[in-house]
């Protein structure tokens, strides 16, 4: 126990003195601070420069409307002017070539050339990914066409307008959880879990392999118990990773609250609107998930003789983890987090940290299901921990080609 404390302290010190670790943490915190303050900074600039640029801001890009039938052109212009607030809608004069030239020269941004009341061609220079003009135009033109048709059948334009603009009153009462609302923060937390476990797991593996390849292991193994070494190393990385997460997320939440007024955006507030009890679950699943993977990474690291072998050796674990991540991500975006794959995954210890946590976030899970999942996870973590310490003891003294997993297990179980 005494040794364990000393190893933990030494390893933690190693992280704190690691310039890359400290650098990345500071970078992340600063980056988040900058992002959080952007709305304030932008609005500060806007209010400063408002006097000079006021008239420039008022100039809207031009949208041209053309139809051979002048009455149709006037009608469409009128409706488009109402629908496209961001444009100055003008009736084009001249030929189609002149309209094209106007667009190419930047005089106008786009043009609708009407073939008939229900058919048009949209001219634009570069079609932006987010150009919704045709969709808006379709809706507007449909409405115009319908009103005209109804008027033609004897209704007054007012009656037709009333029919078309009827409002349906509705209300949604959620008995479970709002998946739309929960999606973003669940996504971010799962992604953080994924990144941290994979990154730190690799670090543990590299750490062990470095000790082995530098032969520091020869002295270490005669000075400390393998179990203390394994647990000390893994817990130190867990504490380092967790503090990094807390620091980054803490900064984000703190600065969000500081800048809450400027960041008045439903998407952003949905990210930060995390129920407190979810944090408790996040900690439980983070710690257990982290430990179970870090133990495996450590054990694998101990079987590699050279640092170059690490990447191939950890591949199976990384695969397992990426598959778990994929299942969760697909289920999340498909909208059914309670599908069979997720149900199974939420009880398998290697996948449950992500799968069960996602289900808790986005769906309704009975308390006993959570309890069973956590119990299995705790049991497996302890089991994997002990087993990996044993593999570690055998692995660290084997040099040469990495031994086969089967051979190691046989060796471990023999004792």
* Rg of the Cα atoms in the chain: 31
Query: Contact at 8 Å (CB) between 260 and 254?
Result: no
Q: Strands across the sheet with 119-124, in order?
A: 88-91, 62-67, 110-116, 119-124
Question: Smallest Cα–Cα separation from 125: which of 96, 105, 139?
Answer: 105
Residue ranges with strand state E in 78-189: 88-91, 110-116, 119-124
Span near other proteins by CB under 8 A; candidates 179-187, 247-255, 328-336, 405-413: 405-413
Nearer to other proteins, 229 or 291 (CB): 229
Nearer to other proteins, 260 or 410 (CB): 410
The verdict on 7 binding other proteins (CB under 8 A) reads yes
What string marks each residue from 199 to 218 as x (binds other proteins by CB under 8 A) or -? ------------x--xxx-x
Residue 219: CB minimum distance to other proteins, A: 5
Number of residues that bind other proteins (CB under 8 A): 24
Nearer to other proteins, 326 or 397 (CB): 397
Nearer to other proteins, 230 or 355 (CB): 230
What string marks each residue from 153 to 192 as x (binds other proteins by CB under 8 A) or -? ----------------------------------------
Span near other proteins by CB under 8 A; candidates 155-163, 267-275, 296-304, 407-415: 407-415
Nearer to other proteins, 51 or 415 (CB): 415
Residue 330: CB minimum distance to other proteins, A: 41
Query: Contact at 8 Å (CB) between 354 and 193?
Result: yes
Question: Smallest Cα–Cα separation from 345: which of 190, 219, 137, 144?
Answer: 190
**Widest Cα–Cα separation across the chain:** 99
Q: Which of 81, 83, 192, 224 binds other proteins (CB under 8 A)?
A: 224
Nearer to other proteins, 126 or 222 (CB): 222
Q: Which of 393, 395, 402, 412 binds other proteins (CB under 8 A)?
A: 393
Question: Smallest Cα–Cα separation from 328: which of 317, 337, 318, 320?
Answer: 337
How far apart (Å, rounded) are the C-alpha atoms in residues 3 and 285? 27
How far apart (Å, rounded) are the C-alpha atoms in residues 381 and 397? 24
Number of Cβ within 10 Å of residue 195's Cβ equals 12
Question: Smallest Cα–Cα separation from 121: which of 96, 90, 101?
Answer: 96
Nearer to other proteins, 151 or 407 (CB): 407
Chain residues binding other proteins by CB under 8 A are: 2-3, 6-7, 10, 13-14, 211, 214-216, 218-224, 393, 397, 407, 410-411, 415
């Amino acid at each position: 126990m005494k040794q364990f404390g000393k190893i933990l302290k030494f390893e933690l010190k190693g992280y704190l003195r690691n310039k890359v670790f400290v650098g990345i943490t500071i970078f992340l915190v600063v980056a988040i601070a900058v992002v959080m303050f952007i709305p304030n900074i932008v609005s500060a600039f806007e209010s400063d420069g408002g006097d000079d640029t006021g008239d420039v801001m008022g100039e809207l890009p031009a949208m041209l409307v053309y139809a051979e039938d002048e009455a149709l052109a006037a009608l469409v212009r009128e409706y488009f002017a109402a629908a496209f607030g961001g444009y100055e809608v003008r009736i084009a004069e001249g030929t189609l070539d002149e309209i094209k030239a106007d667009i190419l020269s930047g005089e106008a941004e786009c043009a609708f050339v009407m073939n008939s009341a229900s058919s048009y061609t949209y001219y634009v220079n570069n079609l932006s990914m987010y150009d919704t003009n045709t969709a808006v135009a379709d809706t507007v033109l449909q409405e115009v066409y319908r009103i005209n048709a109804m008027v033609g059948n004897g209704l007054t334009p007012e009656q037709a307008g009333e029919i078309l603009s009827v409002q349906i009153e509705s209300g949604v009462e959620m008995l479970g959880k709002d998946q739309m609302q929960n999606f973003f923060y669940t996504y971010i937390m799962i992604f953080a879990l994924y990144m941290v476990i994979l990154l730190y797991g690799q670090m543990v593996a590299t750490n062990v392999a470095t000790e082995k390849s530098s032969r520091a292991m020869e002295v270490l193994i005669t000075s400390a118990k393998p179990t203390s070494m394994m647990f000390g190393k893994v817990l130190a990385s867990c504490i380092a990773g967790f503090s990094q997460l807390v620091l980054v997320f803490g900064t984000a939440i703190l600065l969000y609250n500081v800048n809450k007024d400027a960041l008045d955006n439903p998407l952003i507030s949905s990210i930060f609107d995390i129920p407190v009890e979810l944090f408790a679950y996040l900690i439980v699943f983070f710690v257990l998930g982290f430990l179970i993977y870090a133990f495996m990474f450590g054990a694998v690291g101990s079987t590699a003789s050279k640092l170059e072998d690490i990447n191939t050796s950890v591949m199976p674990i990384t695969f397992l983890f990426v598959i778990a991540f994929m299942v969760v991500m697909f289920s999340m975006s498909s909208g059914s987090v309670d599908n069979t794959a997720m149900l199974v995954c939420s009880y398998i210890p290697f996948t449950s940290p992500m799968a069960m946590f996602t289900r808790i976030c986005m769906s309704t899970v009975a308390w006993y299901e959570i309890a069973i999942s956590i119990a299995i996870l705790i049991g497996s973590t302890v089991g994997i921990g002990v087993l990996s310490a044993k593999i570690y003891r055998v692995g660290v003294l084997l040099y040469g080609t990495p031994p086969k997993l089967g051979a190691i297990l046989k060796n471990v179980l023999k004792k």
